Structure 1
Amino acid sequence: MSTTSRWKDRIYESIGLKEWKYDPLNQGDDPDRQDHQQQPRNDASPVTPWLRSKVWKVGAAVFVVFLFLVLVFRPSSTEISNLIFNPEIRSSYFYLVLPAATGSPEFCKTLFSASVLGYPTARIVNWKKTFDNSDLPHGGHDLAKVQGIHDFLKQLGSSTDNDLILIADGYDTWFQLRPSVLIDRYYAINDRVNKRLYRELGSKAGISQRVIFSAQKRCSSDNLDDLECDAIPESGLPDDVYGPRTDKNGDGFGTNRQRYLNAGTIMGHIGDVRKIFEAAVEIAKENQFKTDTEIFARIFGKQEYQRELIRLRHRDLSQKSWFSRLNPRGDITSPHPKRERPAMGPPPDYGIGLDYYGEISQPAEYDEGDVAWVAHNSSQKIGKMAQRTGIPTDVPEEVQRSTPPFWTPDYTGFVQAPAEQDWSQVPLFTNLWTGVTPVAVRQSPAEGSKTNPVVSQTWNQSWFFPYLRQMLVAHSKAPRMPHAVVQGIDGRTEEWWGPNDGRGGVFIETGSLPGEWQFWHGVCGAEDVAKEALADGRGPWRNPRWMLDHNNDVAADQLKDWYTQLYAVEDGTTVWGEKPPE
């Protein structure tokens, strides 16, 4: 026996493991042979009490060293529990839901903008349904979103309660920033509000903000005494954000602060969002609402009325007197001949809050003079365009650290986009009063079917527009990867994955998960989409085929087409993923 073998045996014997040894794999044996069997060893030795004693001594020594390190470095109890019970990286699912009935150019702008930025494969709700009720806005499409999304959330079940969901209007949403920015801002907005709620309501109330809706400048109800108009808190924006005319209604709401709920964008954990939609379905049965915004605004109004009661109970008499003098709303709980009051019994708190600054989405309703497409590499230029002094002009930190704009999961090298550019060098839709660049832009109708021209007529100013088709090709063949990697509220790294990620398509909600798969060319392959959304003169969108067919003859034709395409790309007569000219 060699010296090395004897040394190994002594180590095994010292810790009582010799009887558990295995022979090293014989590299000369064929691993695929079925008659190769492991031969038992005959040199096992029993574990004696003396050996057990040595094992206990070694274990005790390791424990003493561990205890010494804990006392020296004194980590917090949270750090210790995270180290022991929680993995270093937490992985969860992130859903994107788009209510839409047809593959119109506006829907395809929403879908394509989300796709080039790396959002999860979209789930489409209410597809191919008809909405022709002349008494309701958009034929009843807005109202039908409540039931359709409710049914989808119910299908997902309680196992998805901690997953994130973003619900965005399928016809008027343009994405411009990465999913990681969205999730970072979701956490930051909630953190700011929850610190305030803790101060105002106390720890015993157990109330927190967990679901964020868009905010708009006008109440959804024409009766300003309704809860959704009267009981809600003041806007989180500065009270002079629009100068001396802030909150003066004389100019068509343009200088009103964003204060009222808008249901165009909703984000939160699925368990919380599901409860809100369950309540919305019940409220819709009892009242005559025309839109989803009206329903959710009523729920928000009831929640805020109840929170005001808790605030009053939380303050002592001196605080109540001082607060009533400073509170512009006055005491909304006092008797009033016209103001609505909720029925007896407090409603549950749904954790609803509003995106007052438009960090997640910026509705363009009544905001015609607020916004513009600007690059942030010139503070002087932004300063000249700004509507007020002192607005931030630099690209926010969470945007800077996100994946650069023109990065794609392409491995061919044929996406001819300026990959070296960073976020300061591309035009971003920016609020000129606040300096905020939203994750998504919403071109809500300002009056009837009228849309904000700054939004509806400037699709070609979006940073990805000149390279849209090439970037879509790259993403249609991307490997599966996290859509966002962020730092969670507890400091741990979080990976957010799509639950059923396909490439180059969407899942149509059918009543059973994950839904019916449709390629992009099945929903956005029309000629009008090519002219308005792609607008590159290269015809309708067609998904590229990247896998060889199982039929050898078909596969041979595919290879021939690919080589033809490769030569055409090198000649500059086509772009990668597009059929070359005949």
Structure 2
Amino acid sequence: MDKWVRRHYDLDFQMLKSSVALGFRRIHSSKLDAPKKQQKDRRFVLVIPATSPSPDLCKTIVTALALGYPSPIIINWGIDYRAITKWEGGQNLPKIPGFVKYLDAAMHPEAHPDEKLEEDDLVLMVDAYDVWFQLPADLLLKRYHEINKRANIRLQQQWDRDEPVPMRQTIIAASGKNCHPQPNSGSNMHCERLPDSPLRADLYGPDTEKDANKHRDHRPKYINGGVYIGPAGDMRRLFRRAAQKMEAGLNQGVHLFSEQGIPGEVLGEQEVWRQWRRASKEVIQDSDAKFLMDRDFEYHFGLDYNQELSIQTYWTDTDDGLFDGAFVLLNNQSAIDAHSEALGISPVRLQGVPEDIESARNPLADVIESPDWGEMELYADFFTESVPAIVHHNGFKERRTSWWDKPWFHQHLRKLLAFHMAPRIPEEPLATIEAEDGGVKYWATTAEKLDRRPRLMGDSAQALLKKVGFQDICQYLDDSLRLPGDHWWDEVFRDAGGPFS
């Protein structure tokens, strides 16, 4: 283990130890006491780290707003990443301290009541410039709970002792096919120690995971930093740990360049710790485990293996120039069959509209009569059968422009956005979830009750966060990036309707 890696494990451990001890007491007492089911109200917030305006940032924000997500809270606006990283690389690193700053402010006892978050309120953070939402908030929230439920069943099955299981999952990150970055980046992610994906072993046929360098044929099992979702308290503890690691590395002169590598290292530590906890009480020969065994590295952290919340487009291209996923009409089974046959998938796996989507309220019901999910272009993966809530264009970024008119929402975008931007006092929650310990109702913060424009995180949340207009976040940062006479609304709406107001 690197000397620097070993050293930065030691940071602020007493705070972590007391925090985890409290968390474990909560787990164990809740399991033993079997509390009565009750209805809970929780807030749900969307956080986007963005430093400057762009039509691509606008696409992320308007797809969220048009599908009924909370108005985004933008962190890190206007900062120079080099002031934090101390070198020319690591452009995304400020995401970590910026997110901690927001959570500390929103959870502070003196936070404005319209902005305040409690421990169990839910926080979704997504990348700013290459993310499109395609399914409404209630579907994402239901899937979040289902993914955690399945993960916690697996953790319980892996624990063969009489004492309560000391692991659980509340935080989910997106998953990818490649363990990135490698240790020479300054982050030791323990890639070889991470658990296998629960997806079928022959996901890409008999050659699945046979070639270590052919990442396209690997099942997603590694962290991708494009999407994180979890309770505010747990997220703050996780990202405080990541911020400590990041600061330690930068102070040692390490040129950290990957934001996802740092939470990825925390995930790797957690897995080594979990493996040690499951092991019998024999002498531990593993040097990594020996170092970790006296500490508590349980962060309730896991991955969206099935890519139900977010699908990553990187490593989805084949040697023949085909792609694992596409925007398709799910009622058009013959087109799905043709895509699948070209990819060598037999029998065809993707069959029509997934049940949870079919039973969800269709967002087009607000602007047209009798919409049909199966007649709406949705991005789907023909191997995993995933129709995700979010499409993350971390590969083939040119599609942010060339594919922008493909999704179902595009031709209705202005109407959908106008409908959801209208001020109104919500009578219904964003989602109602039936969980094992009772129902949960998720609400947006009251800060957006009468004004749903995005908000900028400043120095604190003791007052309402500043509202920001679309012109300020959607404009081209550099006029050379746009055609003469074009404006941001020409690219975002493509309907000759002028600016949005």
Equivalent residue, structure 2, for 1:162: 120
Do the aligned partners of 2:141 and 2:431 also contact (CA within 8 Å) in 1?
Answer: no
Alignment match, 2:313: 364
Q: Take 1:280 and 1:295, find their aligned partners in 2: how far apart are those partners? A: 6
Report the CA distance between 1:172 and its aligned residue: 1.1
How do 1:308-327 residues align onto structure 2 when only pairs under 5 Å count? 308-313=275-280
Q: Relative to structure 1, is the Cα distance of residues 169 and 137 closer, same or farther in structure 2, using a 3 angstrom cutoff?
A: farther
Tell me if structure 1 keeps the 8 A contact 2:365–2:371: no
1:256-405 matches, within 5 Å, as: 256-287=218-249, 288=254, 289-313=256-280, 334-335=285-286, 342-343=291-292, 345-368=294-317, 369-386=323-340, 387=343, 388=345, 389-405=347-363
Residue 455 of structure 2 corresponds to which residue in structure 1? 507
Contact 1:226 1:340 in 2 (8 A): no
Is residue 376 of structure 2 the alignment partner of residue 426 of structure 1?
yes
Name the SS of the counterpart of 1:142 in structure 2.
coil
- Give per-residue Cα distances to partners, 1:30-70, cap 9 Å, x unaligned: xxxxxxxxxxxxxxxxxxxxxxxxxxxxxxxxxxxxxxxxx
- The 5-angstrom pairing of residues 130-145 of structure 1 reads 130-131=80-81, 139-145=89-95
* Cα pair distance change 1:403/1:78, threshold 3 Å: farther
Q: Secondary structure at the match of 1:435?
A: coil
Say which structure is richer in helix.
Answer: 1
| CA distance in 1: counterparts of 2:190 and 2:83, whole angstroms | 25
- Alignment partner of 1:486 is 2:432: yes
Q: For the residues of structure 1 that align with 2:152 and 2:107, how far apart are their CA atoms?
A: 27
Matched residues in 1 for 2:338 and 2:407: separation? 21
User: Residues 445-486 of structure 1: CA distance to partner in whole angstroms, max 9, x if unpaired?
Assistant: x4xxxx345565211101111121122122221423245222
Deviations 1:58-104 (A, max 9, x none): xxxxxxxxxxxxxxxxxxx999944xxx4xx4321001000011220
Residue from 99, 112, 136 that aligns with 2:62: 112
Q: Distance in 2 between matches of 1:134 and 1:143?
A: 8
TM-score, with structure 2 as normaliser: 0.79
Quote the residue 2:136 is aligned against: 178
Structure 2 residue identity aligned to 1:461: K
Question: What is the match of residue 18 of structure 2?
Answer: none
What RMSD, in angstroms, separates the aligned Cα atoms of the two structures?
2.9
Give the direction of change, closer, same or farther, for the CA distance of 1:91–1:135 in structure 2 (3 Å limit). closer
Distance 2:387 2:88 in 1: 29
Q: Quick check: 1:185–1:360 contact (8 Å CA) kept in 2?
A: yes
Find the partner of 1:521 among 471, 474, 497. Answer: 471
For the structure 1 residues 476 and 525, does the alpha-carbon distance in structure 2 shift closer, same or farther, using more than 3 Å as the test? Answer: farther
Deviation, 1:390, is 4.3
Is 1:495 matched up with 2:441? yes
Consecutive unaligned residues of structure 1, counting only runs of 5 or more, are 1-76, 318-330, 409-416, 544-582
CA–CA distance in structure 1, aligned partners of residues 178 and 87 of structure 2: 17
Matched, 1:442 2:402: no
AA matched with 1:294? G
Q: Deviations over 1:358-397 (max 9, x none)?
A: 1000111112321100111133332222242342423222
How many residue pairs align between the two structures? Answer: 430
Write the mapping of 1:528-567 to structure 2, written as runs, cut at 5 A: 528-541=487-500, 543=501
Contact 1:475 1:503 survives alignment (8 Å) = no
1:136 shift after superposition? 9.2
The within-5 A match list for 1:241-256 is: 241-249=203-211, 252-256=214-218
Aligned to 2:44: 94
One-letter identity of the residue aligned with 2:202: D
Q: Which residue identity lines up with residue 437 of structure 1 in the other structure?
A: V
Please state whether the residue corresponding to 2:435 is helix, strand or coil.
coil
Name the residue aligned to 2:154.
196
Per-residue CA shift, 1:315-342, capped at 9, x if unaligned?
A: xx9xxxxxxxxxxxxx9x7447xx8974
**Residues 1:464 and 2:409 aligned together:** yes
> Does the 8 A contact of 1:485 with 1:493 survive in 2?
no
Matches within 5 A, 1:403-414: 403-408=361-366
Contact 2:181 2:258 in 1 (8 A): no
Larger radius of gyration: 1
The alpha-carbon deviation at position 519 of structure 1 amounts to: 2.5
CA separation in 2, counterparts of 1:491 and 1:349? Answer: 22
1:440 to partner: Cα distance: 0.2
- What's the offset of the Cα at 1:521? 3.4
Q: Return the letter of the residue paired with 2:371.
A: Q
SS of residue in 1 equivalent to 2:454: strand
Secondary structure class of the residue paired with 2:265: helix
Cα contact 2:227–2:310 (8 A) shared by 1: yes
Aligned residue type for 2:159: L
Name the structure, 1 or 2, with higher relative contact order (CA <8 Å, separation 6+).
2
Cα drift, residue 356 of structure 1: 1.0
Q: CA deviation at 1:126?
A: 0.6
Q: 5 Å matches for 1:50-89? A: 81-82=36-37, 86=38, 89=39
Q: Which of 147, 169, 178 is equivalent to 1:209?
A: 169
Moved more, 363-372 or 225-234: 225-234
Runs (5+) with no aligned partner, structure 2: 1-31, 109-116, 318-322, 477-485
Of 101, 111, 117, the residue aligned with 1:151 is: 101
**With structure 1 as the length reference, what TM-score do the two structures score?**
0.68
Matched to 2:145, the amino acid is Y
1:412 aligned partner: none
| AA matched with 1:533 | V
